[in-house]
Every structure is written in C-alpha cells, then in structure tokens.
C-alpha cells in the first residue's frame, strides 16, 4: 500500500510544483471562445504580426489553419505569410537560434502547445503584465514571469505600465507589499480594446494547442446523448423480454 502511495505522490509532484510556480500573482480569467471564428481570425493575424518573427508554431501548417478558421487560401498567402513560403508550409520562424540566444538570452520557445502547457489564464495575464523597467537591457519586465527575456512586443497597442507598490495589512497584523500596474502612457488601443485583443491572441494560441478540441467536444456530447437514448431503449427492451419471467 505504501509503495502505491509513493507512486501517486511522485506522479502528482510536477502538478503541485507547476501550481506553486505562479509567484503568487493572481491570474485573470481569459474568457476565450473557441467557437468564435472571427476572434480566431483576428488572433491569427496578431500571431503572425507580433509573435511569428521570434516564436514558431512548427506543428501547424498555414493551409490547415486557413481551412479551420474559414480563411481563403489566397488571403492566407497574401496576408498571413510574410516570406516566400507556401500555404502548405509549417509556421516556422526565420530567426536563427544563435541570433535569438544572443538577443534574448535564450531561444524563444515554439508556441504550438504553449496554451496547453501554461493555460489560457496564465497567457492572458502574462501578456497584460509587462511594465517599464529601465534596469533591464530590454527596458521591460513582467509581474507573472519576472526577468523574462521577452520584450513587450505589444507595447505599441497597450502603451507603458508602471509598477505601484502598496503595503497591505493581513488579518494577523503582518504587512505585505502588493504590486499593481498602472497605465502611465496609453497606446493605440484603450485598455478595454487591448484586453479584447489579447483575448483574441490567447484564443488562437489555445486553438494551436489542439485544433480539433471544439469538434471533439461537440462529437463527445453527441455520443453521450446517443448512449443515453440507447440506454433507455435497451432498458425498455430488457423489460419487454423479461416481463413474463418471474
């Protein structure tokens, strides 16, 4: 019994470590809608314009993405591919790994399954939590991921945030410092518009991680309904067969 208990605890250890790895930052609810194709299309446009120059999506092809999101092949080729690639190509990145390591300190990760690894709430909060930090060579930092090598690529849309530190007393009397971000300089979008823009991007990243998730869930619902109907019919058939047997 103890042996099995140890195995279960070891299996749960990575989950506990991941849950504890959020630095105590509250994660805002992303509230994405995987069925909203317009949101996914806007997210795809944001991804190729702001992310794909450094981050790849090596498990997704442009053609597959266009078919899923209802984007014509010609539109994909003209508006979502910024190289001499073809619609059948994978969404790779042109930046050489050695150059990326020099610029950012590490090679930017592939984002195909980042939503499954981090969670949509983490991504939504992370992308909205950059703030100005002149002590760093990239000029920014992040509350969710301190000292991250990625700059705030959405700064033009969001603007610049500044950290505001306040002291809050807990119920037991201990004082705790709380860091909040305030918008010091607005970008081209209002805060509400920027939140919606980030939600579209996260929605697309969630789609990248499992393109067939929505179809799978819809099919699963139909299968369960079929099994429930079949259960009723099977029960009625069983009663009819056994009604004369006492």
pLDDT given for residue 246 in this prediction: 58
E strand or H helix at 47: none
Q: Look-up: residue for tokens 């518009």?
A: 193
pLDDT number for residue 3: 43
Greater confidence (149 vs 6) lies with 149
The partner residues of 180 in beta bridges, in order of sequence, read 164
Q: What is the mean pLDDT of residues 28-44?
A: 95
pLDDT for 85: 82
Structure tokens at 47: 């991804």
- Which pLDDT score, from 0 to 100, does residue 241 have? 79
The contacts of residue 22 (CB under 8 Å, 6+ apart) are: 122, 144
pTM to 2 decimals? 0.78
The two structure tokens encoding residue 208: 């990248």
Tens-digit pLDDT profile for residues 155-174: 999 999 999 988 877 777 78
| Domain topology for 2-209 | Cytochrome Bc1 Complex; Chain D, domain 2 (1.10.760)
Is the model's pLDDT at 26 over the cut of 80?
yes
At 38-52, the pLDDT tens digits run 999 999 999 999 999
Enter the tokens of residue 171.
């119920």
- The whole-chain average pLDDT of the chain stands at 85
Closest CA to 205 of 29, 48, 14: 48
Task: Encode pLDDT of 204-226 as tens digits.
Answer: 999 999 888 767 777 788 888 88
């Amino acid at each position: 019994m103890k042996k099995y208990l140890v195995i279960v605890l070891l299996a749960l250890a990575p989950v506990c470590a991941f849950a504890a790895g959020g630095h105590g930052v509250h994660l805002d609810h992303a509230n994405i809608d995987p069925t909203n194709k317009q949101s996914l299309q806007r997210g795809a446009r944001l991804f190729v314009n702001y992310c794909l120059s450094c981050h790849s999506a090596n498990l997704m092809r442009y053609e597959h993405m266009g078919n899923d999101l209802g984007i014509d092949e010609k539109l994909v080729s003209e508006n979502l591919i910024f190289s001499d690639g073809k619609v059948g190509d994978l969404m790779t990145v042109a930046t050489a790994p050695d150059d990326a390591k020099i610029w950012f300190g590490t090679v930017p990760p592939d984002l195909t399954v980042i939503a499954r690894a981090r969670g949509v709430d983490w991504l939504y909060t992370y992308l909205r939590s950059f703030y100005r930090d002149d002590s760093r060579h990239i000029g920014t930092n992040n509350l969710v991921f301190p000292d991250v090598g990625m700059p705030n690529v959405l700064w033009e849309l969001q603007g610049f945030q500044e950290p505001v530190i306040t002291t809050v007393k807990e119920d037991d009397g201990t004082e705790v410092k709380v860091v909040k971000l305030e918008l010091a300089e607005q970008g081209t979008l209002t805060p509400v518009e920027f939140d919606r823009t980030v939600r579209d991007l996260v929605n697309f990243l969630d789609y990248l991680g499992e393109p067939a998730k929505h179809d799978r869930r819809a099919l699963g619902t139909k299968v369960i309904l079929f099994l429930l109907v079949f259960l009723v019919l099977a029960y009625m058939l069983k009663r009819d067969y056994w009604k004369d047997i006492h």
